[in-house]
Amino acid sequence: MSGTSIESTSSSINGLFNNFYKVPAYQREYVWKTPHVEQFLIDVYIPLENADFDSKKAEEYFIGSIVVCPTKSKVFEVIDGQQRLTTIVILLSALRSYFKNKNLSKAPNSSIKNLLKNTYTDDDGEEINQYRLILQYLDSNEILECIVDKGKVDETMNSGAVANIKAAFEYTEKFLNQKFSPNPDNCKRFFGYLINKVKIVKISTEDVSSALMLFETINQRGIGLNPFDLIKNRLFMHENQSSFKEITDSWRTLSNTLYEMKENPLRFMRYYIISHHKLEGEYGVRQLSEAKIFKWFDKNSDEIGAKEFPKEYVAKLNRAAESYRAFLKKDKDHFNPDKENHYIKNLRLLGGSAARQHLIVLLAASRLDFEDFNRVAQELEKCMFISLLIKEKSQTIEFNYYQWAQKIRALDGENSLTNLLSEMAADRQKKINLFSTFFLELTTNDIQKFRVKYILAKLSQHLELAAYGSEEKYINLSNYIDSYEIEHIFPKNPSKEAMKEFGEFEVEEIVERIGNLLLIEKSLNSYLGNQEYSRKRKTYCESKLLLTSNLFQRTKIGKTMIDDAVSGLEQFKTWNEQSVIKRQEMLYELAKEVWLN
């Protein structure tokens, strides 16, 4: 590539979208799924949340690089980075829809419009009206233009890329509503932070062939891992020549482990440091961003033993990375690598693919024996659920987990662990009023769909365990999530008969209330449709789930564990707004037994 002109500039989103881009037909289509989009949104949201939505105090966040080359039409051809660019356009479009729906005063609508679509003058002096990003591959079906122009997805469009973009847009809209519903003005601050302090490196070459060569070089050499490589270099500097091959092989194993699970190495390092080391001062847990990892490491390499025993330190990182992968990707612990750990799996089912903060506690708890590790994981699930439900700030959650990790590392006996578990339980009890407020008005619009199913599954499982005991099929939460579907008792699209029977209602989102939902077998759900409750209730009785089968008629066997388990359930002969509210109150009582005890 000698002699090739390459320009590299760090740019804000605002600066980046002063130009126009196209993704050529030969490029891969948009392949990001919801977990990728969720992780991206969380990554750009958390720095602002950590700064209490003061963008002046929030740290800049780097989201990677793109490789482009200019064309004669003054539109840059995107060689690498189209997944991020497309997601940014989707986010900007969702922000515009959010501001429009909320009717906010002084919303930055014109700014967003200019970032999505504008004009440029070509070489002939003609003014061209152009989208900032155009997808030229066949499967795109102009869906991005539809989102930019209409703020919604045309339902007639259908293809792999369209389905992914549609899902990304819908998830992003839900993400904004969930994060900013208590304070819509914070969404304006988020927009300001996004376009001014979220940074991307734009690498521009003189032609497509040079850009493609550069793209290959970047991928082969892992240029994106430079900060992680700096840590490696520091470790290698202090190792004896005789052990150089050993530490090199060990570091390669670490890098491969992180690569195989597609984890950001700096994110892993950050959670490892938080879970294993004491943090204070300018490098306290609240201040330790990914951008500061190398500086922290450089400053503390003596104290943590990395300078004197680099080989041993890399070995510790490898052990932690293996546990990290087991917890995050395999639902397993370090005691039984061939067997799923239900407590770890529950944490993933609750947190989804993007959640990482709970790993702080799990990594610290890896030093405990099997039974104590599971006690911590079980308690952690309850704490994590309540924090997520009441929308506790990520920074607050992380600080609590850091403190618990510190105490786990300092444990010196059974009493110490019992005290820690009591402290975690006390933390939940302090939030009972908020928990009550959020749960009693909870709707599917307040949380992700997978988390709605988690809640219904945990409540159903709670009754099954009480009725039948701790058999494998009842302990495994996946059995409830995989084998059952969410059913709206009062249908989302009710028939005329269902509308008439349900009657008038005042709560706008009554159909999406958690009290209006249950889990039911897929085979039974296919018969229910949008019918009225009087026709559906007998089908509910056929369900194997006690929480579902007892909705209309109580199970009676005669002084058994099953009778005891369902004794607190209320039955409903009719279904209306008051029924939904009363059932939600009943589910709240069950929820307290599940997550507060």
Can you spell out the DSSP letters for 283-295?
Answer: GSTTT--GGGHHH
Looking at 352-486, list the stretches that DSSP marks H as alpha helix, in order from N- to C-terminal side. 359-365, 370-389, 394-409, 414-429, 432-440, 449-468, 472-475, 478-483
Q: How far apart are CA 518 and CA 572, in angstroms?
A: 14
Write the CA distances from 412 to 32, 96, 420, 427, 574, integer angstroms.
46, 54, 12, 22, 57
- Count of residues for the chain? 597
Beta-strand pair 117-121/127-131: antiparallel
Which of 342, 343, 367, 362 is CA-nearest to residue 271?
362
Which of 565, 569, 573 is CA-nearest to residue 583?
569
Distance of CA 509 to the CA centre of its chain: 24
For the chain, the 3-state helix, strand and coil shares in percent, each to the nearest 5, are: 60, 10, 30
The CB density around residue 477, as the number of other CB atoms within 10 Å, is 20
Q: Give the N- to C-terminal CA distance of the chain in Å, as an integer.
A: 64
C-alpha angle with apex 214: 210 to 220, nearest 5 degrees?
Answer: 145
Listed in sequence order, the residues at least 6 apart from 365 whose beta carbon sits closer than 8 Å to its beta carbon are 372, 373, 376, 377, 408
The token pair that represents 361 in the structure block: 């506690």
Burial (CB < 10 A; 0-12, 13-18, 19+), residue 458, is: buried
Q: Global pTM?
A: 0.83
Question: In 196-214, which positions are buried (b, 16+ CB within 10 angstroms) versus exposed (e)?
Answer: ebbbbbbbbbeeeebbebb
Which of 455, 417, 413 is CA-nearest to residue 594?
455
Q: Is 135 helix (H, G, I), strand (E, B) or coil?
A: strand
Phi first, then psi, for residue 244 (nearest 5°) are -65, -45
Site of tokens 């028939």: 495
Site of tokens 């033993």: 305
Q: How far apart are CA 129 and CA 24, in angstroms?
A: 19
Q: Is 11 helix (H, G, I), strand (E, B) or coil?
A: strand
Residue-level pLDDT, tens digit, the chain, 597 residues: 444 567 778 899 999 999 999 988 777 788 899 989 999 999 999 999 988 899 888 889 988 888 888 887 778 999 888 899 999 999 999 999 999 888 877 889 889 999 999 887 777 777 778 899 998 877 677 888 889 888 877 666 566 678 889 999 999 999 999 898 778 889 999 999 999 999 998 988 776 555 555 555 555 444 444 568 778 878 887 777 777 788 889 999 999 999 899 898 999 999 999 999 999 988 999 889 888 898 999 899 999 999 899 999 999 999 999 999 999 988 888 788 788 999 999 999 999 988 999 999 999 999 999 999 999 999 999 999 999 999 999 999 999 999 999 999 999 877 789 999 999 999 999 999 999 999 999 999 999 999 999 999 999 999 999 999 988 899 999 999 999 999 999 999 999 999 999 999 999 899 999 999 999 999 999 889 899 999 999 999 999 999 999 999 998 877 689 999 999 999 999 999 999 999 999 999 999 999 998
Listed in sequence order, the residues at least 6 apart from 376 whose beta carbon sits closer than 8 Å to its beta carbon are 361, 362, 365, 368, 408, 417, 420, 421
Q: Is 195 within 8 Å of 187 (Cβ atoms)?
A: no
